[in-house]
Amino acid sequence: MDSKQAPVVECSKYTKRVMLKTLFGRSDGEVGLIGQRVVIGGWVKSSREIRKQPVTPHSVPAQVVSTKDVTCSEVLQSRIPLLRSIMKVFGAGEYRVREKINVVFQPQPSVSILQISDGSCVPSLQVLVDSALATPCQVMATGTCVLIEGMLQQPSLQGKHVVELQAEKILHLGLVDQSNYPLSKKRLPLESLRDCSHFRPRTTTVASVMRIHNALTWATHGFFQDQGFLHVQVPILTSTDSEGFSEKFVVTTLLNKGKNYDQISSTENAGVSVEAIRASIKEKSKKVEELNRTNSNKEALFAAQQDLKKTQELVSQLESRQKANSGVTIETRKFDFSKDFFARQTYLTVSGRLHLESQACGLGNVYSFGPRFQAVKSESKKSLAETWMVDVEMAFSELEDAMECANDFLKFVCKRISEGYMEDLQFILKRIDKKVMERLQLTLSSSFERISYAEAIEVLRQVPGKRFQGKIEFGVSLTEEHESYLVDEIYKKPVIIYNHPKGLRPFYVHLNDDGMTVATFDVVLPKVGTVIRGSQSEERFNVLSSRMEVLGLQKQQYEWYLDLRRHGSVKTSGFSLMLEPLVLYATGLNDVKDVVPFPRSFGRANN
């Protein structure tokens, strides 16, 4: 190849290697790559070894190489001392054994055929490594990391590959302990991979999911940036309960202060262990039995029974705390938060909508993308303690505007995935879900059905011969079963359900004229259920203040939020998108724990 010719393959700027995705899917079918010298790096997904044939049919076998011509009997004598002694007895004593025969055993030359993946794409590159360069035991183990320089060539063996790499130099070799490497076994189920999240991206399935996860992230930024929204960071730590009724994680440094703030251990209560309380229960039970037998006065018997009951409740509480928290539980009401780091009770945020609204009231249309936290003790396949959420807020807009924005956003990201990640989608179509493309096209082509909450209740009530597990009545939340039936069986497309009962939604949403419902909406997609929850915020100070009083919220925590109504109030609307269910929708998987790099859920915080 002419050295002045422009390189066909571009190296990664910062790692000086060629990413495999640049080698595949070319217009020339990769033929133009033949003869190119490249450096590639990745991990061995699979391997096999082929033996080299002798150069000529008359060449000496590789297993034995001798320095002199010897007969068969001489070989036997040199190897078996007893045979030499016998031959001497029978007259062969004059025979003198020649000098020791040099026998060298050499392994037969071979070639290791490796399938290498670097995580940039679905296909792997076939790499040939001669045993003179590295022995098979060094490079063939699944998971071995290699950095190899070599020449791209036509495949030497028949197969699916258009090009392969003939290794010339091994620049790096990261060996694997096969007995302890969790991916040594083939086709591990996703459930078993959750215990080794640090290795999951090396599997083809998880790598494809992560690439789609990345695509949805950038499509999100692309949509809102194209529409003129500003990206604003909202706090992860907050003293405000954004929903008014959510389960929150408390953030405190007081646990480092010893027991100065009445730390209560699940194995300790006023210096008394759980075992001691159980022993006390036995004694109190005996006392109650004695009072029953001796016909003691009713007041003494009643007092003893109440004492026993309280002691049993106490040990039950301590045991449940121990089970739920694996050691220590803290009663936050016992803490003096004025002495804490922030001098007040602080939480991990569950939503960015309230803080984002303050930014919208000065900047117009804004969005935020970041982690949100809910301390919900749920083992649902769609529930995580730490989730990533897109929060959107638009000034001078109402509920209808927010619904239209949510509709356009979902169509945009589905189109971006469908057009730009066909290779990953084809893999998912083959290995995970045969209907993934059908769902994405359905979102792109259909107009979302819009029904009110009251209409949804009525539609579900009229379903003939269908018995739902959850109640179907006004004022009760629609379950996953209800939502699934609406989108999969009745409308057969995405559905937007709006105007929910006020008791089911946060305090800050706009109260409708009927006094019973609020201006909210949910976007429900096939297979995954609700992915977006949105609303119009209550701009009227008196209505918002009254709503907070009814719910018993402490107004001092929300004075800054009420200030937005006191000074230059404006109508705002927006929504929150949960990213993980959207990834489920685009990949066909069933559990959100499989679509995030490091899942945090009830009872699990590995890595």
- For tokens 């150069």, what's the residue? 55
And the tokens for 325?
């928290």
Provide the domain limits for residue 268: 264-329
And the tokens for 372?
């949100």
Q: How many CA atoms lie within 13 A of 169 on its CB side?
A: 6
* Residue 150 contacts residue 164 (beta carbons within 8 Å): no
Q: Looking at the domain assignment, is residue 526 inside a domain?
A: yes
Amino acid 594 reads: D
C-alpha–C-alpha distance, residues 330 and 255, integer Å: 9
- When divided into structural domains, the chain yields a total of 3
Q: Looking at the domain assignment, is residue 478 inside a domain?
A: yes
C-alpha–C-alpha distance, residues 246 and 226, integer Å: 33
Q: Looking at the domain assignment, is residue 214 inside a domain?
A: yes
What phi-psi label fits residue 29: left (phi over 0), alpha (psi between -120 and 50 degrees) or beta? Answer: left
* Residue 24 contacts residue 165 (beta carbons within 8 Å): no
358 and 240 assigned to the same domain: yes
pTM: 0.78
399 and 461 assigned to the same domain: yes
Q: Looking at the domain assignment, is residue 408 inside a domain?
A: yes
Q: Looking at the domain assignment, is residue 285 inside a domain?
A: yes
Q: Residue 74: what pLDDT?
A: 46
Nearest to 388 by CA among 514, 236, 539, 279: 236
The CATH number of the domain holding residue 223 is: 3.30.930.10
483 and 575 assigned to the same domain: yes
209 and 180 assigned to the same domain: no
Name 78's Cβ contacts closer than 8 Å, sequence gap at least 6: 70, 97, 98, 100, 101
33 and 139 assigned to the same domain: yes
470 and 585 assigned to the same domain: yes
Amino acid 335 reads: F
400 and 481 assigned to the same domain: yes
The CATH number of the domain holding residue 125 is: 2.40.50.140
272 and 242 assigned to the same domain: no
Q: Looking at the domain assignment, is residue 1 inside a domain?
A: no
Please list the helix, strand and coil fractions of the chain in percent, rounded to the nearest 5, in that order: 40, 20, 40
Q: Looking at the domain assignment, is residue 140 inside a domain?
A: yes
Q: Looking at the domain assignment, is residue 215 inside a domain?
A: yes
* Residue 425 contacts residue 418 (beta carbons within 8 Å): yes
Opening angle at CA 370, ends 408 and 355, nearest 5: 85
439 and 308 assigned to the same domain: no
Residue stretches of the chain with pLDDT short of 70: 1-8, 54-106, 244-245, 256-276, 294-303, 317-334
Amino acid 21 reads: K
Q: What is the pLDDT of residues 530-566, one digit of tens each?
A: 999 999 999 999 999 999 999 888 888 899 999 999 9
